[in-house]
Amino acid sequence: MSTSGEKHRQLFDDDNFYRMNTEVITEQEVSPEEHLKENSHYLRGRIVEGLKNPLTGSLPPDDVKILKFHGSYQQQDRDLEKERKKQKLEPLYQFMVRVRAAGGVVTPAQWLVLDELADAYGDATLKLTTRQSFQFHGILKRNLKKSIVTINDALLTTIAACGDVNRNVMCNPNPYRSAVHEQVYAYASRLSEYFKPRSKAYYEIWLDQEKVAGNQEEEPLYKSRYLPRKFKIGLVTPPNNDIDIFASDLGFIVVEEKGKLKGFNVCVGGGMGATFGDESTYPRLADVIGFIPPGDIIRVSETVIAIQRDFGDRLNRKHARIKYTIDDRGLEWFINELEHRLGAELQPVAPYHFDTNGDQYGWLQGINGKWFYTLFVENGRVRNDEKRNLKDALREVARVHQGDFRLTGNQNLIIGNVEPENKAAIEEVLKAYGLPGDSTPTGLRLNSMACVALNTCGLAFAEAERYLPSLIDKLDLIMKDNGLEREAITIRMTGCPNGCARSRLGEIGLVGRTVGKYNLYLGASHNGDRLNTLYREMLAEADILRELGAVIARFSSERQSGEHFGDFVHRIKIV
């Protein structure tokens, strides 16, 4: 790639830009999903009719796919599948509803609405996702519309939280870099808005807005088939990489100069998903390809998306993310195409450095003088349980809180922008509810993540969220025996290789193969710039404890000063 910054750049040559970004899709063989999207009348399908059918709690299969663009997945309670079949009842269909909010920032008032919605129509829990979204689970079809209305009434949305479009834009919460954060967050919001589908289908179906005749609509960027696959953008301010920027399709790494935003390093081609037994699929980290000034962020993003729209694989959905487009044609081709379409070259990558992809817990004061409390939320699940009433606690916090809430990319929660005089009130509520807990979680637990998996995710082969806490109980005993109970080692578990909890970026990664069996991966970096490597396959719990026990024991005795677990396993060459 050219790294010459001398060339006169013409990023704002509109004629050129639109010519390049409206390339006609050539007719070729495509997957059925492509036809489905094209024939959906811009994401309408027959969702309205399906919602009205009182005989089933499900939507027809085609509409289930279109529904994703509206921010909801049809799921079922897999625990009850066999039982209900015998009872001559259909599966217990239910809907996951994902609320997107750029950078995962919501107001206390919005929190209260979501909290109440979880009780009214969901399973009385809120799932804070690894991409800074809220998820409701267990919403029945008859309550789906009411739920989406409630979310929109709170000035939040679910549109394009899923589907073959740009999804929620991530932006790390940056508690101690609040000045830059304001600016970066503003860009995240702009990207988020800008890349929403233009179709009015969402507003017609859920918000009863007036119908638009189908042929009057168009999607200037996405076109009638939308993207070949989902698309994820993130913005990150070093040295924290808590959103795992290298897992993004498109990432922007903040470059600061004297406390001011100078621009972004651009990275492309990240993605966690893979399919067991299909070697053409694999997790991949994004490549950093150049630097851009802040004002170019929309145009660069739009161009990257357009390239993926035009060249992404529309025949094989398992091979349709931008990472494959890049690998199939080469990174150089991609950069050339991008620069060609932009009519200018990217500037050379500016130096950057990441310390960690974990969160820093407890109180921190931002440079704006306000306080930020990062609360550990195990696997992002906000609920009341036998241990503590976390959901009640956060509702109480929301009632007294005047700042904001920020979801982290690690499924945790920041009670943000607390005025110094309000800090005591927040602390009091947390204390009243026993938070962060009688025994502070161990280093391993504080750095753990798990996806939803069973019983609601249709993709899961094995447990994740419901199982990881108890596995950590057992691993903690080993860690304690080795004097490592405070050691921050990232451990991530997913129920399938699609990797929602970015299991392939854990220093310890566990990926479900079948119920009770996991592949064990070791050696990702502690800051998210190196994937882990397969260490052992098909391990049951006893095998996991034995295998990990041995490595942890060696780590305890052989590690070098300050050496992270992920780096250690590479140094001793066991992966």
Looking only at residues 241 through 270 of this chain, which bind other proteins when binding is defined by CB under 8 A?
Answer: none
Beta carbon of residue 495, minimum distance to other proteins (angstroms, whole number) = 23
Tell me which amino acid residue 147 is.
S
Active site residue 573: no
Burial 470-491 (b: 16+ CB within 10 A, else e): ebbeebbebbeebebbebbbbb
CA–CA–CA angle 193, 197, 198 (5° rounding) = 95
Q: Which is nearer to other proteins, 94 or 281 (CB)?
A: 94
> Which is catalytic among the residues 162, 171, 267, 500?
500
Record the tokens describing residue 57, joined without a space. 């709690």
Give me the phi and psi of 354, to 5 degrees please. -110, 135
* CB atoms near residue 463 (< 10 Å): 20
> Which is catalytic among the residues 141, 451, 492, 513?
451
From residue 66 to residue 105, what is the string marking binding to other proteins with x (rule CB under 8 A)? --------------x--xxxxxxxx-x-------------
Beta carbon of residue 142, minimum distance to other proteins (angstroms, whole number) = 7
Q: Which is nearer to other proteins, 84 or 536 (CB)?
A: 84
> Which is catalytic among the residues 223, 457, 492, 502?
457
> Which is catalytic among the residues 9, 98, 284, 299?
98
Q: Which is nearer to other proteins, 143 or 241 (CB)?
A: 143
Record the tokens describing residue 431, joined without a space. 């204390």
Q: Which is nearer to other proteins, 132 or 147 (CB)?
A: 147
Q: Which is nearer to other proteins, 140 or 534 (CB)?
A: 140
Long-range contacts of 8-11 (CB under 8 A, 24+ apart): 8/344, 9/342, 9/343, 9/344, 9/345, 10/343, 10/344, 11/296, 11/299, 11/300, 11/342, 11/343, 11/344
Residue keyed to tokens 């998903």: 273
Q: Which is nearer to other proteins, 28 or 87 (CB)?
A: 87
Beta carbon of residue 143, minimum distance to other proteins (angstroms, whole number) = 9
Beta carbon of residue 92, minimum distance to other proteins (angstroms, whole number) = 6
> Which is catalytic among the residues 37, 100, 141, 167?
167
Angle subtended by helix axes 541-558 and 468-481, to nearest 10: 40
Sheet holding 260-268, edge to edge: 170-171, 233-236, 250-257, 260-268, 287-292
Beta carbon of residue 90, minimum distance to other proteins (angstroms, whole number) = 6
Beta carbon of residue 84, minimum distance to other proteins (angstroms, whole number) = 6
Q: Does residue 448 contact residue 281 with C-beta atoms inside 8 Å? A: no
Beta carbon of residue 86, minimum distance to other proteins (angstroms, whole number) = 6
Q: Which is nearer to other proteins, 62 or 313 (CB)?
A: 62
Beta carbon of residue 302, minimum distance to other proteins (angstroms, whole number) = 44
Q: Which is nearer to other proteins, 89 or 477 (CB)?
A: 89
For residue 536, count CB atoms less than 10 angstroms from its CB and return exposed for 0-12, middle for 13-18, buried for 19 or more.
Answer: middle
Q: How far apart are CA 245 and CA 264, in angstroms?
A: 12
Contacts of residue 427, defined as CB under 8 A and 6 or more positions apart, other chains included, come to none
Q: How far apart are CA 301 and CA 191, in angstroms?
A: 8
> Which is catalytic among the residues 496, 502, 504, 513?
496
Quick check: 56 binds other proteins (CB under 8 A)?
A: yes
What are the Cα distances from residue 106, in Å, to 92, 369, 573? 31, 20, 44
DSSP letters, 219-263, are -TTT-TT--SS-B-EEEE-TTB-TT-GGGSSEEEEEEEETTEEEE
The count of residues interacting with other proteins (CB under 8 A) is: 16
Q: Which is nearer to other proteins, 93 or 333 (CB)?
A: 93
Active site residue 267: no
DSSP letters, 543-572, are HHHHHHHHHHHHHHHHPPTT--HHHHHHHT
What are the Cα distances from residue 264, in Å, to 102, 186, 223, 247, 529? 18, 14, 28, 17, 17
> Which is catalytic among the residues 230, 314, 391, 502?
230
Looking only at residues 36 through 55 of this chain, which bind other proteins when binding is defined by CB under 8 A?
Answer: 54-55
Signed CA dihedral, 42, 63, 511, 537: sign only: negative
Residue 511 parent element (H or E): strand 508-514
Q: Which is nearer to other proteins, 57 or 528 (CB)?
A: 57
Beta carbon of residue 138, minimum distance to other proteins (angstroms, whole number) = 11
HSE-CB at 150 with a 13 A cutoff on CA atoms is 23
Q: How far apart are CA 267 and CA 395, in angstroms?
A: 38
Contacts of residue 526, defined as CB under 8 A and 6 or more positions apart, other chains included, come to 356, 357, 358, 488, 490, 507, 564, 565, 566, 567
Active site residue 171: no
Residue keyed to tokens 């390049």: 20
Q: How far apart are CA 117 and CA 138, in angstroms?
A: 11
Residue keyed to tokens 């998210």: 528
Q: Which is nearer to other proteins, 136 or 264 (CB)?
A: 136
Burial 342-352 (b: 16+ CB within 10 A, else e): bbbbbbebbeb
Beta carbon of residue 74, minimum distance to other proteins (angstroms, whole number) = 15
Looking only at residues 123 through 182 of this chain, which bind other proteins when binding is defined by CB under 8 A?
Answer: 140, 142
From residue 194 to residue 213, what is the string marking binding to other proteins with x (rule CB under 8 A)? --------------------
Beta carbon of residue 61, minimum distance to other proteins (angstroms, whole number) = 14
> Which is catalytic among the residues 65, 68, 131, 232?
232
Active site residue 162: no
Active site positions, annotated: 98, 167, 230, 232, 451, 457, 496, 500
- Interface residue list for other proteins (CB under 8 A): 54-57, 80, 83-90, 92, 140, 142
